[in-house]
Amino acid sequence: MFSLTRYTTPCPEPVNGQILQMVVDNLTDISSVALPPSNLLYNIYQYAIGFEVHLYLEALGGAKGIAVELVVATDTQDPEQVIGFVLYLPVKDDPEACGIAFMAVQAGKRRQGVARAMLKDVLARYPHAELACAVEKVPAFEAMGFQVRGARGTQVLMNTRDYATNGLMGVLDVASIYSSLEMRQIHTYLLQKHGKRAMVDAEKQRDRHLDQLTHKAQRFIQNL
């Protein structure tokens, strides 16, 4: 069993830490890049997506000028253990709408209704919700009330309604993460460890992977 807690202000540091660990552990599921761990660039994206979620957690309570909310699932037997989370962005000028930014459930706690319960909690306040997911996850989200709206990059865009909100959703500018000193240090370390040729190959593998995912999402939409 599990319990749900909603946060609209910064949550306790132990909760933050477990959420960020879950992001790192589930990068392939969470990120639209969806790199496999075998790719040498995996650690770079682990840091980048983890830091992005960290910034959104810091933005809870409006500290960064955008609206951010969070639903956290914890183990009833061990209330200190986070087993899932949904981070979402309420839409300005549309009190019924939000965008689902990040969601994850611990591997050992899946297929127990955790994701469904967290989304149900979100939809109780924001019935007009939008998210993007991998093609493989479309049936699961359809079962939770979402419908396909189109393709966005490597993912399928889904909404609880057959139209997008007209309101504005505040998002953080995270482009600077990829040019940060920390990212350059990680890249330098990987370069020294694996060599230039291996890193170039990893970049080519990533690009092919992204192209394949993009075509897959587009074909899925075309075949509906």
Q: Could you tell me the CATH number of the domain that includes residue 199?
A: 3.40.630.30
Question: What band does 89 get if pLDDT is binned at 50, 70 and 90?
Answer: very high
| Residue range(s) defining the domain that contains residue 12 | 2-222
**What pLDDT, in 10s, does the model give residues 44-58?**
999 999 999 999 999
**What pLDDT, in 10s, does the model give residues 10-41?**
999 999 999 999 999 999 999 999 999 999 99
Prediction pTM value = 0.94
Number of domains in the chain: 1
Q: What is the pLDDT of residue 113?
A: 94
**What pLDDT, in 10s, does the model give residues 140-176?**
999 999 999 999 999 999 999 999 999 988 999 988 9
Q: What is the pLDDT of residue 63?
A: 87
Three-state SS at 14:
helix
Cβ atoms 66, 171 nearer than 8 A: yes
**What pLDDT, in 10s, does the model give residues 111-133?**
899 999 999 999 999 999 999 99
Planar angle of CA 24, 16, 127, nearest 5 degrees: 90
Q: What is the pLDDT of residue 151?
A: 97
Planar angle of CA 92, 173, 59, nearest 5 degrees: 60
Residue 224 pLDDT more than 90? no
Planar angle of CA 163, 29, 172, nearest 5 degrees: 60
Long-range contacts of 92-95 (CB under 8 A, 24+ apart): 92/67, 92/167, 92/168, 92/169, 92/170, 93/166, 93/167, 93/168, 94/128, 94/165, 94/166, 94/167
